[in-house]
C-alpha cells in the first residue's frame, strides 16, 4: 500500500482494497503494541491476564486476516472499532487509572476506521464505558481526563474534516477536465476499473464514445475558441440529457465517454435522444453541429482496453456510414 492509496482511503474512503490493507496493517500494529505487556505479565507471574492478552493478540491478527478479503468493509470497520472499545475497557478494568492514556490512541484511530460522525459516536460510547468502569481515581483527575479526551476527539474530528475537504478539492483538480468540467481520462480509467471489478450480468454496463462531426473543420473555419465553446456546451448538453448520476468524461480532443448502467438497447435510446438534441440545437451560433456515437456493452471477459476498443469500433462505423448517427457494437456470431 503506497502513500497515495492510504490518502485515498483516509480522505475519500471509496477505495475498498486500500481500506482492507489499512485495517490489516492497523490490526497488526495494535497486536504488536500489546505483545510486550503480555511478556511482562508472564514475567510477573500474572498468568491469567497474560493469557487474556494472548487472546487479544490472536483476535487482532484474526481480524487483520479477515479484513484482507472482507466485502462488507464498512460494517467490518464498526466491528473493528467495537473491538478497540472492548480492549481499552478490559485494560482499564484490570489495571485501573494508570492506563487511562490507552483511550487516546483508540479515540484517534476511530477517525481512520470510520467517518467523522461515526467516529464521534464510537468515541462517546468509549467515554461512557470509561465512566462506568470501577476506577480508583479522584473526581478532579477524572474530570481532567474527560475534558482532555473531549478536546482530543473534537480536534481530531475537525482536523479530519478539514483534510477531507481539502482532498476533495485536490481530487477535483486531478480528475476534472479544465475546459468542460467533466471527468478527465484519469477519472475515466479509475471508474472503468471499478465497474469491471464489480461486474454483474444482472446489471449490464454500457460505454458510449461520441464526438463532434467535422470538428477539425470547425476549428479551421471559426477558430479554436469557437471549438472550445462547442465542447463546453456539448458537455453541458450531455449532462442535461443524461441523468445526473451518469458519469461523463472527456476522453480526448472532441471525444466524450459516457458510462451508463443499462442494456445495449436502453443505452441506444439515450444515445439517440442525445444525438437528436444536439442536431436540433446550436452549440455555436455560426452553424448546426452533429455528433456520432458508438456504444458497447461490457462482457464478462472484457478488460478496459477491450471495452473501449469495441465502442471505438462502433464510433468508427458511425463515421464511415455518414456521421450523425448511433451505432451499437454487436459481438460477432460464432461460426458453426
DSSP secondary-structure letter at 137?
A: -
What pLDDT sits at residue 242?
80
Q: In what order do the strands lie in the sheet with 291-297?
A: 248-252, 255-260, 206-212, 291-297, 326-328
Query: What would the pLDDT profile of 28-47 be if each residue is shown by its tens digit?
Result: 888 898 899 889 889 889 88
State yes or no: pLDDT of 272 exceeds 50: yes
Confidence of residue 301 (pLDDT cuts 50, 70, 90): confident
Q: Which of 118, 175, 254, 297 is catalytic?
A: 254
Q: What integer is the mean pLDDT of 210-228?
A: 92
Say whether 254 is catalytic. yes
State yes or no: pLDDT of 245 exceeds 80: no
**Fold annotation for 185-328:** Alpha-Beta Plaits (3.30.70)
Outline which parts of the chain fall under CATH 3.30.70.270. 185-328
* Nearest alpha-carbon partner for 316 in 211, 199, 196: 211
- 289, 278 contact by CB (below 8 A): yes
- 175, 184 contact by CB (below 8 A): yes
- 28, 22 contact by CB (below 8 A): no
Query: How far is 21 from 229, CA to CA, in rounded Å?
Result: 44
What pLDDT sits at residue 18?
65
Q: Residue 190, exposed/middle/buried by CB under 10 A (0-12, 13-18, 19+)?
A: middle
329 HSE (CA, 13 A, CB side) = 23
Query: How far is 14 from 12, CA to CA, in rounded Å?
Result: 6
State yes or no: pLDDT of 258 exceeds 90: yes
298 HSE (CA, 13 A, CB side) = 25
Q: Residue 69, exposed/middle/buried by CB under 10 A (0-12, 13-18, 19+)?
A: exposed
State yes or no: pLDDT of 3 exceeds 60: no
Long-range pairs for 284-288: beta carbons < 8 A, 24 or more residues apart? 284/218, 284/222, 284/226, 284/229, 284/230, 284/233, 286/222, 286/226
Dig out the grid coordinates for 84 from the structure: 478497540
| Helix axes 73-95 and 103-113, enclosed angle (nearest 10) | 180
Beta bridge mates, 206: 260, 297
Considering only residues 116 and 145, tell me which one the structure prediction assigns the higher pLDDT. 145
- 239, 318 contact by CB (below 8 A): no
What pLDDT sits at residue 11?
42
Dig out the grid coordinates for 254 from the structure: 472532441
Q: Which of 1-10, 217-226, 232-241, 274-283 has the lowest mean pLDDT?
A: 1-10
What is the average pLDDT value for the chain, to the nearest integer?
84
Query: What would the pLDDT profile of 159-215 be if each residue is shown by its tens digit?
Result: 877 777 776 677 667 788 889 989 999 889 989 998 998 888 899 999 999 999 999
Alpha helices in 176-299 (DSSP H): 185-197, 215-222, 224-241, 264-279
Query: What would the pLDDT profile of 281-300 be if each residue is shown by its tens digit?
Result: 888 888 899 999 999 999 98
Amino acid at each position: 500500500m503506497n502513500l497515495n492509496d492510504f490518502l485515498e482511503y483516509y480522505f475519500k474512503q471509496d477505495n475498498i482494497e486500500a481500506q482492507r490493507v489499512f485495517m490489516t496493517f492497523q490490526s497488526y500494529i495494535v497486536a504488536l503494541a500489546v505483545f510486550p505487556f503480555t511478556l511482562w505479565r508472564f514475567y510477573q507471574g500474572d498468568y491469567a491476564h497474560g493469557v487474556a492478552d494472548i487472546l487479544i493478540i490472536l483476535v487482532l491478527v484474526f481480524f487483520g486476516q479477515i479484513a484482507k478479503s472482507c466485502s462488507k468493509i464498512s460494517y467490518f470497520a464498526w466491528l473493528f472499532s467495537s473491538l478497540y472499545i472492548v480492549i481499552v475497557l478490559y485494560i482499564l478494568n484490570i489495571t485501573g487509572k494508570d492506563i487511562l492514556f490507552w483511550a487516546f490512541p483508540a479515540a484517534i484511530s476511530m477517525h481512520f476506521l470510520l467517518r467523522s460522525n461515526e467516529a464521534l459516536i464510537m468515541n462517546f460510547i468509549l467515554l461512557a464505558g470509561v465512566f462506568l468502569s470501577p476506577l480508583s481515581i479522584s473526581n478532579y483527575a477524572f474530570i481532567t481526563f474527560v475534558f482532555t479526551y473531549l478536546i482530543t476527539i473534537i480536534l481530531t474530528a475537525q482536523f479530519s474534516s478539514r483534510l477531507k475537504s481539502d482532498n476533495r478539492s485536490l481530487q477535483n483538480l486531478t480528475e476534472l477536465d479544465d475546459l468542460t468540467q467533466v471527468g478527465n481520462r484519469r477519472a475515466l480509467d479509475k471508474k472503468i476499473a471499478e465497474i469491471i471489478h464489480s461486474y454483474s450480468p444482472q446489471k449490464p454496463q454500457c460505454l458510449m464514445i461520441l464526438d463532434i462531426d467535422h470538428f477539425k473543420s470547425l476549428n479551421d473555419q471559426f477558430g479554436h475558441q469557437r471549438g472550445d465553446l462547442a465542447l463546453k456546451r456539448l458537455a453541458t448538453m450531455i449532462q442535461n440529457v443524461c441523468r445526473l448520476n451518469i458519469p461523463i468524461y472527456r476522453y480526448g480532443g472532441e471525444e466524450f465517454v459516457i458510462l451508463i448502467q443499462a442494456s445495449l438497447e436502453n443505452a441506444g435510446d439515450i444515445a439517440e435522444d442525445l444525438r437528436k438534441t444536439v442536431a436540433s440545437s446550436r452549440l455555436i451560433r455560426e452553424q448546426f453541429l452533429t455528433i456520432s456515437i458508438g456504444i458497447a456493452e461490457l462482457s464478462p471477459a472484457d478488460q478496459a482496453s477491450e471495452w473501449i476498443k469495441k465502442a471505438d469500433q462502433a464510433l468508427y462505423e458511425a463515421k464511415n456510414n455518414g456521421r450523425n448517427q448511433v451505432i451499437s457494437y454487436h459481438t460477432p456470431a460464432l461460426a458453426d
